[in-house]
A and B are shown apart, each in its own frame.
Chain A
Amino acid sequence: MRRPIERLGLRVLGSVSELGRMGVFVGGVVRAGVLPRYRVRRFIEELYDVGVLSLAIICLSGLTVGAVLALQGYYNLARFGAEGSLGAVVGLVLVRELGPVLTALLVTGRAASAMAAQIATMVTTEQLDGLRMMSVDPLDFVVAPKAKAMVVAMPLLNALFIVFAIFGGYLVGVSYLGLDGGQYWSSLESAIVFGQDIAGSVLKSVVFGTLVAIIATYRGYTAEPTAAGVSAATTGTVVTASVAVLVFDYAITALWGV
């Protein structure tokens, strides 16, 4: 009886100390991020890695998701004779829910995993220790620009995903299924409230960007300096960040109704 309780206790203690380490890490990144030395060039390089290199997957996925949503929406709305509301359904679902969530999951798979692997490789090849020996703080030089780029890129990619998805919905709804184009746009415009839906979408994507940035950089930074450590950091980032995005999505929706 004692053994399982001991094991549970150890696991709880382990989790609490892991959270503590993560808190110290986040504090260090935030402190480094607001230092007067903003490292604009490194930030732009990271923004390119996270943002520009994700454009193709975001645009293609957006287009496909919008098209599928329009198909599903059209057939279901037609059962109630409400196919004219297709634009509103596609827009609301994308802006409030699918845009931020799917963008975060796609960026996690493409950019956050690469970010974790890159930092973990720098740990393994002593590049971070090399920086420390040059009196350069790796949190300031490596981690903070990456984290900032993720937080900035996420809402922008979210916006792009939504735009392409709405266009995908238009292609299917109007060009393929024969809905009136004007009706598609007017129902979309009248359904979406800027202060609530758009602001909510931005809020979600900023929260998801912050979460994904913390998890990816922390996993990479604390990786074991071995090949297995790099692999574990990458896998751990994808799994943890994906679950965290879904859990926080529910929490934000439940708390603020966005």
Chain B
Amino acid sequence: MADRAEVLDEFRIAVDGVHLSRAGRRVFQGLSCGFVRGQITVILGESGAGKSTLLRLIGGLTRPDSGAVRVAGQDVAALGHADLYRMRDRIGMLFQYGALLDSMTVADNVALPLREHSDRSETEIATEVARRLDSVGLPDAGPLYPRELSGGMSRRAALARALVTEPEIVLCDEPFSGLDPLNVRRIERLLVDLNQRLGLTMLVASHHLASSMRMAHRIVFLTEGRAVSGEPDRLADSSERAIVDFLAAERGDEVPAEGSTG
């Protein structure tokens, strides 16, 4: 059995026996899983399975009722305000609808983390923002406001903002939801490219199976408050009821009604 330090090193992020209830509903019941450094892990599961909640736990936006969420060896839930903010400097998060500040232009949104946390001059910041927007395929979007962007553009601008501080870990919450196939492929290519070029650890919560299978090094499937993980090409071999139903639904096969024991 691997020694604890070795496990933490391999699994840059480790979720250990997490219990969480929200509004009287048990979201996680002893959830344990790990996310390997430098890999893209896609978190799959039905709507309401807790995919976004798992990302929020890792980002320290939600605290578990019990259990530990370790990022680089630090228990996120036990960190104080200042330490939590310091830890977040190493994490970038892409929210489901971008979460760009709607009172600011795209350029100001991307520049915000640099203005807040660096001593760079405005000229240097403007250069960096232009470079980041260019890298996500939005070289001319700087002066626009978020309301003037399409869903795909908004997601890419948010990705530029998440990456501007050069984080080691990127959390992506449903980056493909509501997008047309062309934009899905664009975002997918961007994420894969970033992972390959910069070696970022990426956690992508999604229910978009085709993209997940193409981009993931590992899949974590959430079902009934726990996680089943493995390689993407082994997913079809799983005998787990929820995974079998999920794959059947994707193929367009008949699936048991909700609440049915199958």
Binding site for B on A (CB under 8 A): 45, 122, 125-127, 129-137
Q: How far is the CA of A230 from the CA of B231 in the complex (A)?
A: 42
Q: Please determine whether A133 and B101 come into contact, CB atoms closer than 8 angstroms.
A: no
> Number of residue pairs across A and B with beta carbons under 8 Å?
50
Binding site for A on B (CB under 8 A): 56, 59, 61, 85-86, 88-89, 91-93, 95-97, 99-103, 112-113, 116-117, 158, 161-162, 165
Chain A's closest residue to B171 (CB) is A133
Q: Please determine whether A135 and B93 come into contact, CB atoms closer than 8 angstroms.
A: no
Q: Please determine whether A129 and B112 come into contact, CB atoms closer than 8 angstroms.
A: no
Q: Please determine whether A133 and B91 come into contact, CB atoms closer than 8 angstroms.
A: yes
Q: Please determine whether B88 and A135 come into contact, CB atoms closer than 8 angstroms.
A: yes
Q: How far is the CA of A136 from the CA of B112 in the complex (A)?
A: 9
**Among the listed A45, A131, A135, which residue makes an inter-chain contact with B86, where contact means beta carbons less than 8 Å apart?**
A135
Q: Please determine whether A126 and B97 come into contact, CB atoms closer than 8 angstroms.
A: yes
B-side contacts of A134, CB under 8 Å: 88, 112-113, 116, 161, 165
A to B CB contacts below 8 Å, 22 in the list = A125-B97, A126-B95, A126-B96, A126-B99, A127-B99, A127-B100, A129-B56, A129-B99, A130-B99, A130-B158, A132-B88, A133-B59, A134-B88, A134-B113, A134-B161, A135-B85, A135-B86, A135-B89, A135-B113, A135-B116, A136-B112, A136-B116
Q: How far is the CA of A126 from the CA of B162 in the complex (A)?
A: 14
B-side contacts of A135, CB under 8 Å: 85-86, 88-89, 113, 116-117
Chain B's closest residue to A141 (CB) is B116
Q: Please determine whether B92 and A133 come into contact, CB atoms closer than 8 angstroms.
A: yes
- Tell me the minimal C-beta distance from A30 to chain B in angstroms: 15
A-side contacts of B162, CB under 8 Å: 133
A-side contacts of B102, CB under 8 Å: 125, 127
Q: Please determine whether B88 and A127 come into contact, CB atoms closer than 8 angstroms.
A: no
Q: How far is the CA of A45 from the CA of B101 in the complex (A)?
A: 15
